[in-house]
Amino acid sequence: MIATDTLAHRADGPQPAPAGQSPLQPKLPKGLAGTPDDKDMLRAAVELTRDIATARPEIYWPDMLVSAMLGYAALAGAILIDNPLYAALSGVFAALALYRALLFIHELTHIHKTALPGFRFGWNLLVGIPMLIPSLMYEGVHTLHHARTRYGTAEDPEYLPLALMKPWSLPVFVVTALLLPVGLLIRSAVLVPLGAVIPPLRKLVWERASSLSINPDFRRRPPEGDFARMVFWQELGASAWAIFVLGWSATHSWRPLLIGLAVISLTALLNQIRTLVAHLWENEGDAMTVTGQYLDSVNVPPPALLAPLWAPVGLRYHALHHLLPSMPYHSLDEAHRRLKKHLGVESTYEKANYAGLLPLVGRLARSTMMPR
């Protein structure tokens, strides 16, 4: 196995033509976008994992249900407990548990619609709508991030070249997540109902405020067919819930709502930190090979002990996920072990494995400080 030398592709000057490419052919773009595909790695990823590629309902359902149950119980504790310290600890636990429950939205975008009967409906009813993040916010959007011709380009809704931006962009990127719960409440309680009678507003809300995207230039296309019908019911449920919560709070007490918003803000902050290190964010807008996408993405495998907390539901293997987008989260540990053993420590596969959160944040921060 000859590993892809990613460092060579980061040089600024002209690069030698990759093996198998004529010097007369147009050269590949610089940086990771110019990384030729490691066909041995891509082939091994598929062939070594066929037997573990089926989503198992006996894992999905209990994991999601227990996470949601523990999260809501801890949220109730944060609201009802008088002791400030214990209430705060309960709130932190609620944020972690609800964070795990919420991130099953990522699985919903990749598993086949017939793989887990009722799971999409159950998740939306128990998690998506109560947290005002129904699956419509991710379905039909996240898959664009995996499109071969879109990843890392201006048409990718989930990509920003953060490593190439100014140092102040990183804290701003993270802190803005704290405003998400208030924005979601305004969206579902005010903007969506008004959009039902004001078509231009409805179009604006759908294009600009109906997806969990980080690219400010992304505009969402109108929903069609079965997806449009699903959007209608999910929007109706989220709006009804948001209006009820605001009405109850106005006539009874604002305390539960404010605590709930604080807990979900912490959940959003955790997710934004995870997003910050999900990729290296080094692409300058060129379409990338699959191997380039992989090397621009991040795995934080064992022995990193805290990764399951800040990157739950398999997202500690984000680079591996870009190799095998449909692999269920419960199989990623085993897929990683197999590929690591088969390909070896000098392989391209090993180059996307990192030690933990803090080294990744440090790397990204240093990248923003480099002269351009």
For 46-112, the DSSP string reads: HHTSGGG-S--HHHHHHHHHHHHHHHHHHHHHHHH--SHHHHHHHHHHHHHHHHHHHTHHHHHTTS-
Q: What is the mean pLDDT of residues 314-337?
A: 97
Under 8 Å CB-to-CB from 14, ≥6 apart: which residues? 27
Residue with tokens 């010097």: 23
Question: What's the distance, CA 350 to chain centroid?
Answer: 22
Q: Name the band, by pLDDT with cuts 50, 70 and 90, for residue 112.
A: confident
Residue whose C-alpha is closest to residue 104's, from 126, 75, 72: 126
pLDDT in tens, 76-93: 999 999 999 999 999 999
Determine the Cα–Cα distance for residues 168 and 362; give it in Å rounded to an integer. 14
Under 8 Å CB-to-CB from 349, ≥6 apart: which residues? 41, 339, 340, 343
Number of other residues whose CB lies within 10 A of the CB of residue 147: 12
Q: Name the band, by pLDDT with cuts 50, 70 and 90, for residue 30.
A: low
Q: What are the tokens at 234?
A: 């999910």
Q: Name the band, by pLDDT with cuts 50, 70 and 90, for residue 316.
A: very high
Q: What is the pLDDT of residue 228?
A: 96
Determine the Cα–Cα distance for residues 309 and 351; give it in Å rounded to an integer. 23
φ, ψ for residue 353, nearest 5 deg: -100, 130
Q: Quote the DSSP letter at residue 278.
A: T
pLDDT in tens, 214-231: 999 999 999 999 999 999
Q: Name the band, by pLDDT with cuts 50, 70 and 90, for residue 371.
A: confident
Q: What is the mean pLDDT of residues 123-136?
A: 98
pTM comes to 0.90
Average pLDDT, the chain: 91
Under 8 Å CB-to-CB from 70, ≥6 apart: which residues? 93, 97
φ, ψ for residue 207, nearest 5 deg: -70, -40
Determine the Cα–Cα distance for residues 235 and 132; give it in Å rounded to an integer. 9
Distances in Å between the Cα of 341 and the Cα atoms of 46, 324, 347 are 15, 17, 10
Q: What is the mean pLDDT of residues 277-282?
A: 96
Q: What is the mean pLDDT of residues 113-132?
A: 95
Name the strand (E) or helix (H) holding 182. Answer: helix 180-186
Number of other residues whose CB lies within 10 A of the CB of residue 77: 16
Q: Name the band, by pLDDT with cuts 50, 70 and 90, for residue 246.
A: very high
Please check whether residue 22 is in contact with residue 16, taking contact to mean a CB–CB distance below 8 angstroms: no
pLDDT in tens, 150-191: 999 999 999 999 999 999 999 999 999 999 999 999 999 999
Using a pLDDT cut of 70, give the percent of the chain over it.
92
Phi-psi region of 264 (alpha: psi -120 to 50; beta: other; left: phi over 0): alpha
Number of other residues whose CB lies within 10 A of the CB of residue 316: 29
Q: Name the band, by pLDDT with cuts 50, 70 and 90, for residue 29.
A: low
Q: Check whether 12 has a pLDDT greater than 90.
A: no
Q: Name the band, by pLDDT with cuts 50, 70 and 90, for residue 2.
A: very low
Burial of 114 (0-12, 13-18, 19+ CB in 10 A): exposed
Q: Check whether 48 has a pLDDT greater than 60.
A: yes
- Beta bridge partners, 297, equal 279
Phi-psi region of 230 (alpha: psi -120 to 50; beta: other; left: phi over 0): alpha
Q: What is the mean pLDDT of residues 184-204?
A: 97
Task: Say what the alpha-carbon torsion angle 126, 320, 317, 158 is, to the nearest 10 degrees.
Answer: -60
Question: What's the distance, CA 313 to chain centroid?
Answer: 11
The length of the chain is: 372
Under 8 Å CB-to-CB from 313, ≥6 apart: which residues? 63, 100, 103, 104, 106, 107, 329
Q: Quote the DSSP letter at residue 279.
A: B
